[in-house]
Amino acid sequence: MSVLHTWVGVVLGAVLFAIFWMGTLSVFDREIDRWMMPETRLGPAPSVSLDAAARTATTLAAGAKQWSITLPSERTPTLQVRYPGPEGSVLRHVDPATGVALDDAGTLGGTGFIFPFHFTLHLEWLDLGLWLVGLCGMAMLVLVVSGVVIHRRIFRDFFMFRPDKALSRSSLDLHTGMGVLAMPFHFIMPLSGLIIFFSLFFPGTWHAAFQGDRAAFNRETFGSYSRPRANAPGTLGSLDAMAAEAERRWAGGKPFMARVLEAGDAASVVELRRSYANDVSMNRDAIYFDAASGEVLGRFESKPVGAVQRFIAGMHFVQFDHWLLRWLYFGGGLAGCVMIAAGFSFWLESRRAEHARRGWLGVRVVEALATGSVTGIVLATLAFFITNRALPASLTLAGFEREELEVLAFYAVWLTTFVHAAWRPRAAWGEQALAIAVAALLAPAANWLSTGDHPLRALARGAFAVAGMDVVLLAGAMVAAWAARRLIARPHARLELPALVAPSARPAESEAASG
Amino acid sequence: MQALWVTLRVLLGVFGGYAISAASSAALALALSEWAGFERAESTVLCAMLGFGFYLFALLWAFTTPRLSRVALVLLGGSLMAYGVVRWLSPVALSAPVALRALVSLSPLATSIGS
C-alpha cells in the first residue's frame, strides 16, 4: 500500500495538483468572472421580466435556430443570452436594469478558462483531457484509501510523534494533516466528479440497456422534447405567463433559464428549467411549452436513481446559494493542494540523499516537474489575472484576440517556470514562491489601477466578489511570502532523513553512536 | 526486468480493471432492466455509479495481490464472462457495429454536465 501510494502520487501528482488547483478556484469561478469582467460588476438585479429579456434575446440572436436566457442571480448579476454563432456558442451579458447588452468582455474568465481547465485540462482532442482527469479521479480514490491504510496507526503514531523532530518531518506531517483534516472531501470530490460523467466513462452501460439508442437514453435520463419544424413563421407568446404556470406546477420552484427551440417557427418550443439555487441537487426538471400558445407539451423530472445522480453531481458542482459551505469547499480544495505539494516535498527530501549517492535522476526530474506543476501553475494563474487587468479593453495583437492573449500569457509563464525549475533545482521552489507573493500583490494593484476598485471601495459599493478576490489574493501573497522565506532562508534545513521507523527510545545513546 | 513486471501489472490493473468494471456494469444494467423490472434509465444510472466503486476495488485488488497471473486471469477472464452475459441477454447491445457507430459520434458531454 505504501509503495502504491508513493508511486501513484509521484507519477500523477502534477496533474492532480492542476485539477485540484483549478477546481478550488472554480468554487469561486463566478466571482473571478466579476473581477476579470469589470463591466459585469453590477449591483443586485431588479426582478427581471422574462418577456423583456426575450425581446433583447430575439434582437441579439436574430436568425439563430435556438437561443436561451439565464436569469440574473446573486453571483451573476447579468442576464445571459446564449445562441449558436458562426464560430460556436455565443454568450452575451445584458444589464438587467436597462436591457442593454454589455460589450464583449474580451476574456474567458473563471467560467470560461479556469473551470473547463479543471475537468478537461483544455486537451480537447478525442476528449483525452477528460479521460486523463477521469484516470486521476480513480487514482485519487486509490490514494485516499491507501493513505488511510498506511496511516491506520494514526493514534499510536501520534503518541510516538516527537515535536523536536518537526523540521525534518514537517512535510510529511503537513501532508498527512491536510489529508486527515479533509478526508471525506478528498474522497467524495473525485467520486462525485466521476459520477457526473457516468455516461462518458461507462458508455457500455447505457449502450447495453438502451440497445445503442442514444437519443432514447438522453431523453429518458436527462429529459428532452422535440417535435418537427412546421417551416412556417410563428410567434412567441408570453414567457412570463409560462413561468407562472411552471411555478404553479413546480409548487413554488422558480425557473432560472428559458430556452427557445426552433425560434421563429410555428412549431417552436419553449423549455423552462427549474432553479437549484436552494437545493444541493442539480435537477434536470423541465417543462415544455408551445411557444405561441403557452400550452404545456411535456414535463421531465428525474426518477429516483436519476435523482441520486443529480444530488451527487450537485455535491460536486456547488451551484447552490450557501456562502459558508462555499468557503468550506474552497478550504477543502486548498487543503488538497497543500497536501499534494507537501507530499512532493516529503518524497523529494526523503529520497534526495540516496538518489544523489546512487547517481539516479529521479529526484532531479521529479523536482523540476513538481516545482513547475505546483508553484508554476499558481504563478501562471496570477499572470492570467494580471494580464487581464493590464491589457486594454479591446485588442488584437499579431492575430490574437484579447482573450487568447491572456491564455497565451498563462501558458508562457507556466512553461517558463518549468525551465526555471530545471535550471535552478533546489532554489526554484523558494524563488517561485517569492514570485507568487509579488504577483499576488500586483494583481489587486492592477485591479485598482484599471477599475478604481480597491477592497474598501468594492465593499462600500456592494461589489463583494471583487473585494473577496482582492482579499484572497492579498492573503495568498502573505502565505507565499512566508513560504518563500522558509524555503530560501534554510534550503538545507531538511537534509536529515525523516524518522520513519519508530523513533529510538534512547536518543542519547543513538546520538553518541553517530557522533 | 522488475520494471517490466510492474508495467504489466499497471496495464492489467488500469485497463483490465476498467474492462471488468465496464462489462459488469453493462451486464447488470441489462439484467436489472430485463429481469428485475427496473426502468432502463434507472438501471443505467445505478449500474454506472456502482461501476466506479467496482473499479476502485479492482484497482486496489490488482495492486495488492501477490501473483500477477491471478490478476490477469481474474480481470481478463471476468471481463470476457461479463461481456458474454451482455451479448447473451441482448444480441444487439455492444455488438461491434453498434458500438462503433456510438464511438464515432461525439461524447455526450453537453448532456452529462449541469445545464
The per-residue pLDDT for range B78-102, each reduced to its tens digit, is 999 999 999 998 877 677 766 666 5
The per-residue pLDDT for range A383-410, each reduced to its tens digit, is 999 999 999 888 888 889 999 999 999 9
How far apart are the CA of A511 and the nearest CA of chain B, in angstroms? 37
Confidence class for position A152, pLDDT limits 50, 70, 90: confident
How far apart are the CA of A73 and the nearest CA of chain B, in angstroms? 15
Residues of B in contact with A257 (CB under 8 A): 115
pLDDT at A511 over 60: no
Find, in chain B, the residue whose alpha carbon is nearest to that of A195. Answer: B49
Please report whether residue A515 resides in a domain: no
Interface size A-B, in CB pairs within 8 Å, comes to 151
Please report whether residue A161 resides in a domain: yes
How many domains does one find in chain A? 1
Model pLDDT, residue A160: 56
Model pLDDT, residue A213: 87
Question: Where do we find the cell 438501471?
Answer: B43
Report the predicted TM-score, pTM, of the whole model to 2 decimal places: 0.90
Q: What distance in Å separates the CA atoms of residue A476 and residue A487, rounded to the nearest whole number?
A: 16
Find, in chain A, the residue whose alpha carbon is nearest to that of B92. Answer: A211
Q: What distance in Å separates the CA atoms of residue A402 and residue B53, rounded to the nearest whole number?
A: 44
**Partner-chain residue, chosen from B41, B94, B109, that has the shortest CB–CB distance to A207:** B94
Parallel, antiparallel, or unpaired: how do β-strands A269-274 and A255-261 relate?
antiparallel
Find, in chain B, the residue whose alpha carbon is nearest to that of A210. Answer: B40
Using alpha carbons, list the distances in angstroms from residue B97 to A209, A278, A434: 16, 45, 57
Angle at A80 between CA A69 and CA A381, to 5 degrees: 145
Inter-chain touch B45–A142, beta carbons under 8 Å: no
Residue B53: which domain range? 2-112
Please report whether residue A443 resides in a domain: no
How far apart are the CA of B74 and the nearest CA of chain A, in angstroms? 20
Inter-chain touch A202–B21, beta carbons under 8 Å: yes
Model pLDDT, residue B99: 64
Model pLDDT, residue A167: 40
- Spell out the residues 6+ positions from residue A316 whose beta carbon is closer than 8 angstroms to its own: A189, A192, A193, A195, A196
Inter-chain touch B99–A306, beta carbons under 8 Å: no
Tell me the torsion sign for CA atoms A372, A375, A378, A383: negative
Residues of A in contact with B101 (CB under 8 A): 212
**Partner-chain residue, chosen from B44, B59, B113, that has the shortest CB–CB distance to A205:** B44
Across all residues in chain A, what is the average pLDDT? 89
Inter-chain touch A205–B48, beta carbons under 8 Å: yes
Residues of B in contact with A201 (CB under 8 A): 48, 52
Please report whether residue A498 resides in a domain: no
The per-residue pLDDT for range A107-137, each reduced to its tens digit, is 999 999 999 999 999 998 889 999 999 999 9
Find, in chain B, the residue whose alpha carbon is nearest to that of A275. Answer: B115
Residues of B in contact with A282 (CB under 8 A): 114-115
Inter-chain touch A212–B113, beta carbons under 8 Å: no
Q: What distance in Å separates the CA atoms of residue A44 and residue A73, rounded to the nearest whole number?
A: 8
Please report whether residue A470 resides in a domain: no
Average pLDDT of the residues in A420-429 = 90
Inter-chain touch A211–B26, beta carbons under 8 Å: no
Q: What distance in Å separates the CA atoms of residue A110 and residue B83, rounded to the nearest whole number?
A: 42
The per-residue pLDDT for range B35-61, each reduced to its tens digit, is 999 999 999 999 999 999 999 999 999
Please report whether residue A507 resides in a domain: no
Residues of B in contact with A309 (CB under 8 A): 45, 49
Give the number of other CB atoms < 10 A from CB of residue A228: 8
Model pLDDT, residue A164: 47
Residues of A in contact with B44 (CB under 8 A): 205-206, 209-210, 217, 221
The per-residue pLDDT for range A31-47, each reduced to its tens digit, is 999 999 999 999 887 88
Please report whether residue A430 resides in a domain: no
Angle at A133 between CA A82 and CA B52, to 5 degrees: 105
Residues of B in contact with A306 (CB under 8 A): 41-42, 45
Asked which of A357-366, B28-37, B42-51 is least confident by mean pLDDT, the reply is: A357-366
Model pLDDT, residue B98: 65
Confidence class for position A310, pLDDT limits 50, 70, 90: very high
How many domains does one find in chain B? 1
Please report whether residue A505 resides in a domain: no
Mutate to test the interface with B, among A146, A207, A222, A309 (most CBs of B within 10 A): A207
How far apart are the CA of A336 and the nearest CA of chain B, in angstroms? 20
| Residue A78, all three cell numbers | 447579468
How far apart are the CA of B72 and the nearest CA of chain A, in angstroms? 18
Contact A94, A101 (CB under 8 A): yes
The per-residue pLDDT for range A231-270, each reduced to its tens digit, is 999 999 999 999 999 999 999 899 999 999 999 899 999 9
How far apart are the CA of B5 and the nearest CA of chain A, in angstroms? 14
The per-residue pLDDT for range A7-64, each reduced to its tens digit, is 999 999 999 999 999 999 999 999 999 999 999 999 887 888 999 999 999 999 988 9
